[in-house]
Amino acid sequence: MTHFLHTDADLQDGLARLLVADPRLQPIAEKAGAFSLRRREAGFPGLCAIVCGQQLSTASAAAIRARLFAAFDPFHHDAVRRARADRLKRLGLSAPKIKSIREIGKAVAKGRIDLTAVGNMDADQAHAALTALHGIGPWTADIYLLFCLGHADAFPSGDLAVQESARIAFGLRKRPDAKSLTKMAEVWRPWRGVAAHLLWAYYHAVKKRDVVPVQPNGRPKKAAKTKTTKRKKKNG
């Protein structure tokens, strides 16, 4: 049976069931404290909003999304996919993101994917359907399933914040990669999405700062830039 998280009551019910399935999470939940469900718009707009935020800071992503949705009202896949590239570029979208949004719009228009039907699939089927689209990787698919559809079993194992939270919570020597975390999360089915919310809340409680989903390869790029800057200063 596929479960969905539409309300905070759904989230709390799922958390209670999750803690029964894995009592190790009880002290993690106590440390995390109360946390609420976060939801976003579903369908083509929701998927495009996540694509807009790939590899960007929260502020930059929000600014681009605002410009994009203001430029196309209503936000329909036909209008967006047929828009000139230079118009989309002026809104702040990179060439790869423009291609991704256009390809997603084309897939919806041609019937290669039915985003409404995706909402009724189990987590693994829905994940496979989404990652078959150009520009939709595992992280984007899982974030869409969890935040836009409220899928209770969607689990973004590649999310850096979830990985780091798991490392701290379970006293691991190093941050688990997506494969290791996926294996660890098997015991949490069919409430892996609740576990993700819990780990984000735990991260917030431990780090004492707001946390948002963090796409893989976001931080390494920043580190590489810092390293390059240091070399320039040394050579200068």
Q: Quote the pLDDT of residue 218.
A: 53
pLDDT average, residue stretch 102-130: 94
- Residue by residue, DSSP assigns the chain as ---B--SHHHHHHHHHHHHHH-GGGHHHHHHH----------HHHHHHHHHHTTTS-HHHHHHHHHHHHHHSSS--HHHHHTS-HHHHHHTT--HHHHHHHHHHHHHHHTTS--HHHHTTS-HHHHHHHHHTSTT--HHHHHHIIIIIS-BTT---TT-HHHHHHHHHHTT-SS---HHHHHHHGGGGTT-HHHHHHHHHHHHHHHHTS------TTHHHHHHHHHHHHHHHHHH-
pLDDT average, residue stretch 41-49: 95
pTM score, two decimals? 0.87
pLDDT confidence bin for 211, thresholds 50/70/90: low
Q: Quote the pLDDT of residue 73.
A: 92
pLDDT confidence bin for 217, thresholds 50/70/90: low
Domains assigned to the chain:
8-38+152-207 (1.10.1670.40), 43-148 (1.10.340.30)
